Amino acid sequence: MVDPVALLKELVRMPSVSADPSRAGDSQRTVEFIRDRLVQLGAEVNIVDNEKTDGVRRYNPMLLARLGDDPDKNTLALYSHYDVQPALLEDGWDTEPFEPLERDINGESYIYGRGTNDDKGPIAATLCAVEELVQEGSLPVNFRFIYEGEEESGSNGFEETLRKHHEWLGKIDGILILDTSWFTDDAPGLDYGFRGLAYMGIEIQGPVKDVHSGLGGGIIPEPMDDLVKILSRLVDGHNRVTVPGFYDDVAPLTPEEKALYDNISFDLEQFKQSNGLNALLTDDPKQLLMDNWRNPSLSIHGIEGAFSEKGGKTVIPAKVIGKVSMRLVPNQDPKKIAELFTDYVEKLFKDLKSPNRLTVHTMATGDWWYGDPSHVLYEKARGILRDYWGVEPTLTRSGGSIPIIPFMEKLFGASAIAIGVGQNSDGAHSQNERIRVKNLVGAKEVLKRYFQMLSAVKLS
């Protein structure tokens, strides 16, 4: 039976929470359930062990599958994740999060439950679209499935595992990311970019152990004092990052790119309200979206080693680590930015003439992703979405980071596209997560037509 609603409900009942090792059995059940479904469609399925090991826990495996092997057809890789965020009724859910419930809200039917939007709805829509094509007896393209089980925990082991097994999947001509949502409730959405990341630690070591401020205050050079002076100089009064060379490689805004922002309906007040924000750095909605999506930023997150409990404690910390991250955009190289940052912080520290010791650590880097909206994958998707929904789709980016997308593009030498399934208002990661039935069924239809359309296109 080709019914994405019924399939989604079955998936939601399996609490595949990757953050909770005691749910490993449920995750395993979920991946085997998907495997069985794919095998019924005639796919060859390989559940491969996660390459990441730390001796303590077993990370969820990755499902790889092949369906169709016609060398004259395009081969599409479909990416989703079968794990979900944690959820408990006590968190404030109206109903049991792993007991799917269909409910009407203002005349629209929704399915509630953890994973309905992120990312089991997209999996159900995809599997049903492929199933319909199999039943109709013709595969317009060859399919490759890449379903990971650690996305909600930072995609543990994704790169190592896929690098080890990707050859089994063969040549890939296009990558479909099915793990995003519509930006607004009234128009289908495509995503074409995410920012990259460089996460840095600024470590300053003074005395060998913490010192009572009654003893050390006024007589020793305090590491915290050095750190705060450095942190205060990373961004200027106009909110520009002061690291020399930081903006050198940022891609200039072209008129074509600028025009993409004309079609986006975005309400600043609503945005503030739904995110609990009381002030923004700009009142211009387009500028705000650009600053979030296509311009880089720097944030200070915290200071390790500093006293942060309630009340007063008269201590001078011996060692402090300032945590700073930068969200990066085309064409900034995260490793190069990490080096520029390190050089700059070392210079600021030198200027302080402090006898303390400074070490700058690169804690993590991740690539940005930019999917060219004029690429044929986008051109065809826009046409089909427009036809099906009767509305021009919005093309959006995100200020967040999904480094596995540029990783797969490089690994396979193919372009990616992210097709939204649910809506941003569905509450992914939050209480009462849901998906509109219309979106689920629509995604199945749109994907099916998209696969058919791509049979006539030369992707590579």
Stretch binding Zn ion (CB under 5 A), from 18-26, 109-117, 174-182, 334-342:
174-182
Residues with Cβ < 8 Å from 26, sequence gap 6 or more? 14, 15, 16, 17
Nearer to Zn ion, 119 or 222 (CB): 119
Stretch binding Zn ion (CB under 5 A), from 3-11, 33-41, 92-100, 112-120:
112-120
Nearer to Zn ion, 83 or 203 (CB): 83
Stretch binding Zn ion (CB under 5 A), from 27-35, 116-124, 328-336, 410-418:
116-124
Nearer to Zn ion, 119 or 131 (CB): 119
**Least Å distance between CB 119 and Zn ion?**
4
CA pair distance 333, 81, nearest whole angstrom: 27
CA pair distance 396, 413, nearest whole angstrom: 23
Hey, which residues between 245 and 264 contact Zn ion (CB under 5 A)? none
Stretch binding Zn ion (CB under 5 A), from 113-121, 242-250, 336-344, 384-392:
113-121
What tokens does 232 get? 């205060």
CA pair distance 244, 346, nearest whole angstrom: 12
Per the DSSP assignment, residues forming a β-bridge with 67 are: 143
Stretch binding Zn ion (CB under 5 A), from 111-119, 191-199, 324-332, 365-373:
111-119
Stretch binding Zn ion (CB under 5 A), from 40-48, 65-73, 173-181, 307-315:
173-181
- Whether 76 contacts 171, CB under 8 Å: no
Q: Hey, is 68 helix, strand or coil?
A: coil
Of the candidate residues 118, 226, 367, 409, the single one contacting Zn ion (CB under 5 A): 118
**Least Å distance between CB 4 and Zn ion?**
17
Distances (CA, A) of 85 to 27, 308, 405, 431, 455: 12, 28, 20, 10, 35
**Least Å distance between CB 73 and Zn ion?**
28
Stretch binding Zn ion (CB under 5 A), from 40-48, 110-118, 333-341, 450-458:
110-118
Nearer to Zn ion, 68 or 115 (CB): 115
**Least Å distance between CB 435 and Zn ion?**
12
Q: Which residues of 88-116 are buried (b: 16+ CB within 10 A; e: fewer)?
A: eeeeebeeebbebbeeeeeeeebbbbbbb
State the DSSP H helix or E strand holding residue 455, giving kind and residue range, or none if neither: none
Residues with a known catalytic role: 83, 151
Report the first-to-last Cα separation within the chain, whole angstroms: 34
CA pair distance 264, 275, nearest whole angstrom: 19
Nearer to Zn ion, 173 or 179 (CB): 179
Hey, which residues between 136 and 155 contact Zn ion (CB under 5 A)? none
Residues with Cβ < 8 Å from 98, sequence gap 6 or more? 12, 13, 14, 15, 87, 113, 114
Nearer to Zn ion, 16 or 75 (CB): 16
Print the binding letters for residues 66-105 with Zn ion: x by CB under 5 A, - otherwise: ----------------------------------------
- Counting every residue written for the chain, the total comes to 460
CA pair distance 373, 188, nearest whole angstrom: 15
- Whether 170 contacts 322, CB under 8 Å: no
Angle subtended by helix axes 223-231 and 334-352, to nearest 10: 130
Q: What is the largest CA-CA distance in the chain?
A: 82
Nearer to Zn ion, 26 or 433 (CB): 433
DSSP assignment, residue 117? I
Nearer to Zn ion, 149 or 196 (CB): 149
Applying CB under 5 A, the site for Zn ion has a residue count of 3
Edge-to-edge, what's the strand order for the sheet holding 434-436?
101-105, 108-112, 434-436
Residue 159 C-alpha from the chain's centroid: 15
**Least Å distance between CB 110 and Zn ion?**
18
- Whether 100 contacts 87, CB under 8 Å: no
119 belongs to the binding site for Zn ion (CB under 5 A)? yes
Hey, which residues between 176 and 195 contact Zn ion (CB under 5 A)? 179
**Least Å distance between CB 115 and Zn ion?**
9
CA pair distance 346, 338, nearest whole angstrom: 12
Nearer to Zn ion, 150 or 179 (CB): 179
Binding-site ranges for Zn ion (CB under 5 A): 118-119, 179
